[in-house]
Structure 1
C-alpha cells in the first residue's frame, strides 16, 4: 500500500512537472521551418508573422529555410521533430496535399504525422508569362499553347508542388499540353521566368506580384474567388471556364504528431491575435492574400479536402514522381 501510494505520488509529481513545463511554454526560441527556398510566398508570409508572433509568445520565432522535394524535405524534418513546440513548420498545399498525392514514397503521413495548429492565410495563384511570350492575355495564351502542344514549358516550385499540380489540373480542364520544369522553390522558378529561361509559370500571387507590377512578368489568369483589386483586368479561372482550378493556396502552421493541446492552443491564440493587428493584416493583404486565422480542427478539414482534390488529378493524369 505504501509502495503504491509512493508510486501514485511520483506519477502525480511527474504530471505536475509536465503540466508546468507546458504552461510555461515557451522558455527558449522557437524554430519555424519554411520547406522552400527564400523568396517565395511561403517564406514571405512566415517572415511577416514570425517577429510579432515571437513578441506575443515572449520568445523569438526564428525562420529557417529548407527547400527541396517540392517541400517534402522540410516537411519531413518537422514531422520528425520532438513534439515540444520548439520545432514548428509552415504547411502548404504542396506539403500536405499535392506532394503526398503524387509521391507514394513521401517520408511522412499527412494525416497522422502532423498536428495542425492554425491556417494563417489563403493566397490566390496566377499563371504568368515572360513578356516575350506570344500570348499577352488569357485568350491568346490558351490559343498559343493549344496550337502548339508540348512546345512550351512552365516552371513550378518542384515536382508535386501546388504550381505543378494546379497546372496539371488546368491542362486536364482545358486540353492544353505543356512541359513541366521543376525548381527548388518559387524564387528560383520566378527568376528563370523573368530571365526568359522558361516562358510560363504557375505561382502563388504574393511572390509573383512584384514582377508583375514591374512588368517583368505578364499575369494571364488568376485563381481567386473574384477579380483582384491589384489585377483588375485579369480574369479568374472560374470566369474563363476552368472553375475546378480556381483554388486558393493556404499557409498554416503545423507541429509534429503528439503536440500537446495546450501548446497548440497557445500558438493558435497567439497567431490569431497577431493577425488582428491592422499593420500585419495590411502587409499580408497587400500581397492579395486573405487572412484565415481558423481553428486547428478547421485547418485539418481544409488539408483533407485539398488532398482529395489533387489525388484525383494525379490519378486522372497518371502522374508520377519520375
Structure 2
C-alpha cells in the first residue's frame, strides 16, 4: 500500500500520540508514588482515646503530618483487643493512606489464642516501622490496702478468686502480663477485660477491680496526681522515670518475670516500596526530634526505629515468645476456636 505525503504525516502524528499516551500510562504508578502523600493519611488505633496506643499514636502523628506536608488523622476503632482495627486495615487499599498503629496484642498474642482471626499478621500487612517498646507498671488505686507486690500475692493466696485484675482486652499485653503473674505465683485471680486502657484505669481508680498492669504513659500522670499507687515494674530493672519502683521479679516466687509492649506502624500487604520508604523516613525523622525523644523518655518508653524485614522478624519472635506463655497458662487456640 502506498501512502501520500499528507497521509504519512497524519499517520505519524497519530502514532506519536498513541506512543506518548502509552508512555504516560506506564509512568503513571511511579508518578503517583512520587507524589505521595497528596491527601490526608488515616492512622487507625484499635483502642479508645486515653490509652497508651492512642497517646503514642497522636504524639507521633502530629509531627508526622508536618514532615509529610499532609494531615495525619488518628482514627479510633476499638474492639476485640484491637483485632477490629487490624482486620479493617488488612482489607484497606494498599496505597499508604490507611495505616495501622498496632502493638503486641492483636499482632503477636491474639494469633496464638484464636484460630479464626480475620487476618494473618505475617501475610496481610507490610511492617513499616516499630517505634517504641516499654514495660508496664503494676498499679492499684491510691486507696488500696496493698502497698507491695507481696501484699497482692498474700491476699490472693488467702482468698483464691477473691481478687480481680483489669486488662485492656482479652489477649492484650496487659492481660498476658496479669496471667503470667498469676501463673508464676500460683494464684487464682479473676481477669476482667475492658475495651482499652482508659476504661480499665477508670474502674481501677473507682475500686471496681483491684490491680492492673498499666502502660507507663497512662499510669504516670495518675500516679503523680495521687490517683494510683505503683507497686512494681514489669521490666528487668527499675526505670529512670519511675525510680524506686522495684521489678515484679524481685518478689519471692516471681523470679524471671518480665513483660513489655511494643508499638509500631503497619500498612496493608502490597503497599508500594516507594510509599513505605517515604512513610518510614518521615516517622524516623519524628523519632529523631529531641522534643519527641524527651517525651518518650518521660513516658518510660524506649525508642526502637526498627523497620521492614527486621520489624517482621521481631513480630515473628514475639509471637513465638507469647505463644509459649499462652500455652503455659492454657489459653492457646484450639481447632475450631
Residue 18 of structure 1 deviates from its aligned partner by 0.3
Name whichever of 120-129 and 250-259 sits farther off.
Answer: 120-129
Larger Rg: 2
Unmatched 5+ stretches in structure 2:
1-16
- 1:30-109 aligned at under 5 Å gives the runs 30-109=41-120
| Equivalent in 187, 191, 194 of residue 183 of structure 1 | 194
- Please tell me whether the aligned partners of residues 166 and 245 of structure 1 are also in contact (alpha carbons under 8 angstroms): no
- Per-residue deviation, residues 196-244 of structure 1 (Å, max 9, x unmatched): 1111111211112211222211111112242112322211134336465
Deviating above 4 A after TM superposition, structure 1's stretches of 4 or more consecutive aligned residues are 6-13
CA distance in 2, matches of 1:243, 1:89: 35
User: Aligned residue for 2:31?
Assistant: 20
| Equivalent in 273, 293, 312 of residue 305 of structure 2 | 293
User: Aligned residue for 1:133?
Assistant: 144
1:313 aligns with 2:325: yes
TM-score, normalization: structure 2? Answer: 0.89
- Please tell me whether the aligned partners of residues 126 and 222 of structure 1 are also in contact (alpha carbons under 8 angstroms): yes
TM-score, normalization: structure 1? Answer: 0.93
CA distance in 2, matches of 1:228, 1:102: 31
Closer, same or farther: CA 83–243 of 1 in aligned 2, 3 Å: farther
CA distance in 1, matches of 2:287, 2:241: 21
Closer, same or farther: CA 8–124 of 1 in aligned 2, 3 Å: farther
User: Aligned residue for 1:3?
Assistant: none
- Please tell me whether the aligned partners of residues 43 and 98 of structure 2 are also in contact (alpha carbons under 8 angstroms): yes
Give the RMSD, CA atoms, in angstroms: 2.1
Unmatched 5+ stretches in structure 1:
1-5
1:228 aligns with 2:239: yes
User: What SS does the aligned partner of 1:294 have?
Assistant: strand
- Please tell me whether the aligned partners of residues 134 and 144 of structure 1 are also in contact (alpha carbons under 8 angstroms): no
